[in-house]
Amino acid sequence: MNIYPFQMGITRCYVIQDKGTILIDCGPPNKLGNFIKSMKRASVDPKQIKLIINTHGHYDHIGSTKVIKEATGAPIAMHEPDKEWQEKSIMPLIPGVTIWGKVLSQLTSKSHIAETQVDIKLSNEDFSLAPYGIPGKVIYTPGHTMGSVSVLLETGDAFIGDLAMSGLPLRLNPGLPIFAEDIKRVKESIKLILEKGAKTFYPGHGKPFTADTLSKYLS
């Protein structure tokens, strides 16, 4: 299995390739050029991508979804209620849960995103990725937003969107998100994904870190 992380503005997105190929998150608006260049560096033909999973509906994760969907021909999978944010270009205020988060929340612009239809509505039940050639599943992990999901591979690699964060400018070290609709649900979701076998977390902001790094935040 190959994991290709690539930067789309402030957001780190991932291509996972095994028997099939999927994309996790699409970055902020106007990043199609970044995507094409990143795929070329990874020697991945965009048309190989058979599924796009957006971990949640914030603009920096879904802003380039429409153009990437057109470039790949892949269906989009999202969970309610964030699905509506993609389809109707709804950009709610991101609530901060730390002092720095509250400051950034006020400074964050409500960027317009291009509306596009979500093809697969994810539920609270695990969604198998086996039909797409990937040994893993999508897990419902609410808290950052109420429609947040994570991708957990059989290897223990977990792609968590903003369920946790790592690195500047959001955090100095790996830890809980500085934005969240319900920080208690965040902790519950982290516990859930740990119980399901997560070993390494790949966040949407910052570098990967081991799952036990978060244990001190969950007591």
What confidence tens digit (pLDDT) does each residue in 97-112 have? 888 888 877 666 566 8
- What is d(CA 100, CA 104) in angstroms, rounded to the nearest whole number? 6
pLDDT mean over 74-88 = 95
- Given a cut of 60, whether residue 143 has pLDDT beyond it is yes
Closest to 42 in 3D by CA, of 67, 17, 65? 17
Mean pLDDT (the chain) is 94
Question: Would the pLDDT of 91 be above 70?
Answer: yes
Q: What is the pLDDT of residues 27-63, one digit of tens each?
A: 999 999 999 999 999 999 999 999 999 999 999 999 9
Q: Which residue has the tokens 């612009």?
A: 109
pLDDT of residue 10: 92
pLDDT (tens digit per residue) in 158-217 = 999 999 999 888 888 999 999 999 999 999 999 999 999 999 999 999 999 999 898 888
Q: What is the pLDDT of residue 107?
A: 64
Q: What is the pLDDT of residue 81?
A: 87
- Torsion sign across C-alpha atoms 8, 120, 129, 164: positive
Strand ordering across the sheet containing 149-153: 127-128, 136-140, 149-153, 157-161, 200-203, 209-210
Strand 76-79, strand 49-53: pairing: parallel
Predicted confidence at residue 118, as pLDDT, reads: 98
According to CATH, what is the number of the domain 2-109+116-206? Answer: 3.60.15.10
